[in-house]
Amino acid sequence: MQYTHYFEQLKITIPLLMEEHHVPGLSIAVVNKEKVLFSDSYGYTDSSKTTHITTTTPFSVQSVSKTYTAFGFMLAVQDGKVLLDDPLKKYVPAFSTKHKDGQDYSYEITFRHLLKHRSGLAHEAPIGNNFVYGAFEEHIRSINDTYLRFKPDEQYSYSNLGMDLVAYALEQIYSRPFDEYMKEKVFIPLEMTSSTFNQVEFLERMDSAVGHDKTSLPKHPISMLGAGGMYSCANDMARFVICFLNQGVYNGKKIMNQDLIRRMYNESPISDSWTYHLGMEAGFWNKKVMLNHNGGGFGFYATQDILPENGFGAVALTNSVNHPNIQRGIVRNIWDDFFEMQDSGFEDCRPLNEVYTQYVGVYEATYNGGVWKLAVYPRNGKLYCNNQELIGYEPGLFFTKANDCIQFDHGRLAYNYVSLKKRTE
């Protein structure tokens, strides 16, 4: 199945959603086990609108980095350099912890605990967090000044510190900087030529995306290397997803053993309640097994989905956080639409009703002192607005399942009787 018509509609939809939510740039790739099905980019690297986004434009992927850090660690397991249940302290002797009972539990914290967020460590460190910057070594040392929320393996609690400690341990094991290790072991074998854990490399590239938020990416090094320090592009991450879908094989080369790939998401039974495994979440989406990580911060949002049983995956990146995670919504809508087509026996989506094409666009109005924008767009052969299907009632008049009333009339849209004018430029 090629989904040719579906992706043609998606090319119309994405720019409309970006305009509705004021997103400067977005890059996306959708793959199956064999190849990239769809890859495209929209908008600009920054608000000056001088450099167009491409599918090789690097973005900060923030917490999606955790999946790659875990993958890098499993390669060290494959090399026989370390075990999942080794204590961190074996490789980082200076590591220590504090607990309210006065005991030091550092000897009990294993890499499995760190990769599953079950170490008890806090979310951030005194140095090298989202607000106080410092070198990676300073950041790691400052973790000793934090308290454990609970004893190791008592419960799950998301922690950036755990992934950073994994990255630091890999530096000690291989006697080289983490970014160099990841380049050699992951990026070069997977031909991820625009990817790096080196912030200087990212900032020196003239085509790098610029994050848009109150807190932009700082010019000095970000300390959270393993937790959120990766920079990559849609095309590169698509290669990683294809490798994962093929159980560790890429372009005929075995990158990782199949059993280690599966171990990353088989730490516990997958259920409707999403659980964190080794560097990724696993759960069900539309009754299909999904492996996921999202990331956000410093003006960037990122989503990576892998559906191992169905052989699909996708990556979507944006250089703004001033929107409701539209990159994740776009990807999740793709899966819903794919499965709807499959269940209906269709090879591709239906074309949009020709009469409806006149309604597609962005509508706006001045409202409560600001500009309110609404996108009307095609999705899987249907007309949508505000992520709701528009159900035709009579010519020009639609309702949604939420009982909203939408009426089109000579270039205007009335949304629950509030009038918006269609953009014509």
240 and 190 assigned to the same domain: yes
**Mean pLDDT, residues 234-261 taken together:** 98
Q: Same structural domain for residues 155 and 71?
A: yes
Q: What pLDDT was estimated at residue 415?
A: 95
Geometric angle at alpha carbon 366, from 360 and 372, rounded to 5°: 50
Q: Between residues 220 and 274, which one has the greater pLDDT?
A: 274
| The pair of three-digit structure tokens given for residue 123, joined into one six-digit string | 């979310």
Are 302 and 382 members of one domain? no
Token digits of residue 173 = 């094991």
- In this predicted structure, what is the pLDDT of residue 401? 95
Alpha carbons 73 and 70: distance in angstroms, whole number: 5
Entry pTM: 0.95
CB 194 within 8 A of CB 235: yes
To the nearest whole number, what is the mean pLDDT of the chain?
A: 93
Residues 6+ apart with CB under 8 A from 186: 68, 71, 72, 75, 192, 240, 255
In this prediction, residue 168 carries a pLDDT of 96
Among residues 322, 346, 368, which one ends one of the domains? 322
Report the phi/psi class of residue 76: left, alpha or beta, with left for phi > 0 and alpha for psi in -120 to 50: alpha
132 assigned to some structural domain: yes
Kindly state whether residues 306 and 358 are assigned to the same domain: no
Contact 114, 166 (CB under 8 A): yes
pLDDT tens, residue by residue, 386-407:
999 999 999 999 999 999 999 9
At 169 the pLDDT is 98
The number of beta carbons lying within 10 Å of the beta carbon of residue 344 is 9
In 3D space, the residue among 269, 311, 271, 277 whose CA is nearest the CA of residue 293 turns out to be 277
301 and 415 part of one domain? no
Instruction: Provide the pLDDT confidence category of residue 138 given band limits of 50, 70 and 90.
Output: confident
Total number of domains in the chain: 2
Domain of residue 308: give its range: 23-322
Structure confidence at residue 271 (pLDDT): 82
For residue 354, count other CB atoms closer than 10 A to its CB.
7
Asked if the model's pLDDT at residue 129 lies above 70, the reply is: no
Same structural domain, 374 and 307: no
Residue 285 pairs in a beta bridge with 288
Same domain, 363 and 252: no
Q: Contact at 8 Å (CB) between 278 and 265?
A: yes
> What confidence category does residue 123 fall into, taking pLDDT thresholds of 50, 70 and 90?
confident
- The pLDDT tens digits for 330-380 are 999 999 999 999 888 888 888 999 999 999 999 999 988 889 999 999 999
Radius of gyration of the chain (CA): 23
Phi/psi for 374 (5° steps) reads: -135, 130
Residues 244 and 370 in one domain: no
Residues 6+ apart with CB under 8 A from 115: 70, 73, 84, 162, 163, 166, 278, 279
Strand partners, 391: 399
Whether residue 3 is contained in a domain is answered as no
* Reported confidence tier of residue 134, pLDDT bands at 50, 70, 90: low
* Per-residue pLDDT tens digits for 58-101: 999 999 999 999 999 999 999 999 999 999 999 999 999 989 99
Going edge to edge, which strands form the sheet with 388-389? 388-389, 382-385, 370-379, 361-367, 418-422, 412-415, 405-409, 397-399, 391-394
Instruction: Mark whether 144 and 186 lie in a shared domain.
Output: yes
Over residues 256-263, mean pLDDT: 98
CATH of the domain at 125: 3.40.710.10
Higher pLDDT: 331 or 219? It is: 331
Query: Is 216 or 63 the better-scoring residue by pLDDT?
Result: 63
Measured on CA atoms in the order 133, 134, 135, 140, is the torsion positive or negative? negative
**Cβ-contact 278, 261 below 8 angstroms:** no
What is the reported pLDDT for 346? 82
State residue 130's pLDDT score.
57
Are 416 and 317 contained in the same domain? no
User: How many percent of the chain have pLDDT more than 90?
Assistant: 83
Last-in-domain residue among 322, 342, 376: 322
